[in-house]
Structure 1
Amino acid sequence: MIYSFSRLNLYTTCPYRFFKKYIEGYEEPTTYPLALGKGVHKAVEDKINGVTHSEAVLNGLIEAEFHPEVTMDELSKLVSHAPIKENMGETEIHFQLPLSDTDSAPVLQGYIDLVSPDGSKIVDWKTNRVRYDVRDNHQVGLYAWAVGQLKNITQVEGNLYFLRFRRASKYVFNSADMERSRQWAFRVANEINSKREILDMLPEEAENLFLSKPSSHCRHCPFVIECYRKFSCY
């Protein structure tokens, strides 16, 4: 399994939901926040690359698969909040890197919304209704680590830009910061791999290996009823 920040983060949030989605392969319905995020990211990417605002917004609606809750007005407003300038950098940079030097190392992949020409600055666009600090999780730290590996640099300014608020949370990640994020991803990925090996031998142990973790995230989880029945002792 190739890992991404979202996969690793889902596992730490709720191992059972990770199991249902990524091991059993159940598809979750496309929610309004997910559809909106996809649409906005596509539209902002297009605008940075020279597409007109109206065409970019239309492309965003297509990317959102015309989700009934995603309106052109909201999408257009959020896209207009992006501080777009000429020669900002490359968009949607894909990386796929091993998390250590060993042959069996887990692999991390991701897509970085924007990387400046020299790699010294990265941006991730957010449509969230609540702001948070760029260091509250390891997403941008891992992206900074990846850019550091690709560009052979030791400092990367990571930005979460919250489009609703026109505000950024930024931090300059140094080598130690990047290493902390890499170690987190390496540890979580290895834990998942170890459990998957046990699962291959003892499939009946799935619910003991991947326990549910009740939290506020349950209200948006498509497996909540099934989970309640299986883990009602919680």
Structure 2
Amino acid sequence: MTMEDNVFRAIEQKKVSAQIIDQVKTLIASGKLKPGDALPPERELMKVFNVSRPTLREALNALSTMGFVKMAQRQRTRVRSLVPSNITEPLHRLLKEDMSTSLELIEARTIIERGNARLAARRATDADISRLERSLESMRHKLDNHESVTDDDAEFHIAIAEASHNKIQTHLMFSIYDLLKEKVGLCYVNDEAMEIFKQHQAIVNAIKAHDEELALNSMEEHLAYVESLLNRLISKETAATRP
């Protein structure tokens, strides 16, 4: 065999930090690490990977630069949505300046969530359904104690996205709710919040029964109700700003 015919290639000596990066990226790509998930504390990661702190920090900093994780002082490192920040940041500013933009985001959300509800009814595991039921229990507990349910609402819809077992949908929903929850949360007061809870119950029951059409219809009814609340809120704000 001549050198020209040689099919072998040199073995790549990969840095340890690069191997950590590859592992985390693979877990995100497979859906085992989801947006918002916290990575274990650094000391635990050092033991798991059997690496020094500088090596671990090098890997985490690189993942942060790539947009896969978010690091903050005195807080756990968390998985970021793969929806680019150069898309969400301008939207966030626009939502602050023009609340009517929220309605357009609601429309976009409806298109995605109809599919999420159908896929969740088809694919949800027992673990997915248990998570949705825990979300309902948490929401009911907060309603009984007159507490805000904004975070529970976001958690519920992200849980449905995860029950669809489509990781692209999950990342999209995480970003959408990160943008919307502040605005939508203003709508959830008193009777409205209880109605939202009942609608969530109907969606979970349809998913639990693996009834795709009922899940889709229940989700449509729920989002139409939320849109009507948001329209009412916008009308109030518009009237308040008139000279």
Higher strand share: 1
TM-score, with structure 2 as normaliser: 0.24
The structure with the greater share of residues assigned to helix is 2
TM-score, normalized by length of structure 1? 0.25
Q: Which of these two proteins has the greater Rg computed from alpha carbons?
A: 2
